[in-house]
């Protein structure tokens, strides 16, 4: 399971292999102020913009690199990702059949 350090113990307790997400994309959603200093001082649209950039855009490159590295380690039948993990986005944009279920097998 490619995930943040927050989930390392629970991943391993459930006998799953834990692959750490890179530090530049690893944040604890219970402490967003630590990940995005100054977050609590923002309001309205500025707060929303700040959150979108820092929670989704900024980690995307590191998430994608980690995903591609993990995929290179073996053979996988599926990639399951939560909606906030945008590291899958570049992969999905290259393989439209995965988005629309055209039945194409991705090598």
104 touches 92 (CB < 8 A): no
pLDDT for the residue numbered 54: 93
54 touches 36 (CB < 8 A): yes
Domain that holds residue 27: 2-100
pTM metric for this prediction: 0.80
Is 106 a member of any domain? Answer: no
- Measured distance CA(98)–CA(83) in Å, rounded: 15
Is 32 a member of any domain? Answer: yes
Low-confidence ranges of the chain (pLDDT < 50): 99-100, 102-107
Is 72 a member of any domain? Answer: yes
- Give per-residue pLDDT as tens, 60-80: 999 999 999 999 998 888 888
pLDDT for the residue numbered 97: 54
CA angle 68/69/72 to nearest 5° reads 85
pLDDT for the residue numbered 15: 96
The number of domains in the chain is 1
Is 31 a member of any domain? Answer: yes
């Amino acid at each position: 399971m490619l995930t943040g350090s927050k989930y390392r113990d629970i991943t391993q307790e459930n006998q799953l292999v834990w692959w750490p997400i890179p530090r530049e994309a690893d944040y604890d959603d219970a402490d967003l102020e630590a990940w995005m200093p100054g977050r609590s001082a923002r309001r309205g649209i500025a707060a929303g913009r700040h959150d979108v950039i820092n929670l989704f855009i900024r980690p995307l490159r590191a998430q994608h690199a980690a995903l591609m590295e993990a995929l290179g380690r073996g053979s996988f039948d599926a990639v399951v990702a939560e909606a906030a993990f945008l590291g899958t986005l570049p992969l999905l944009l290259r393989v439209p059949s995965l988005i629309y279920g055209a039945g194409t097998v991705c090598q």
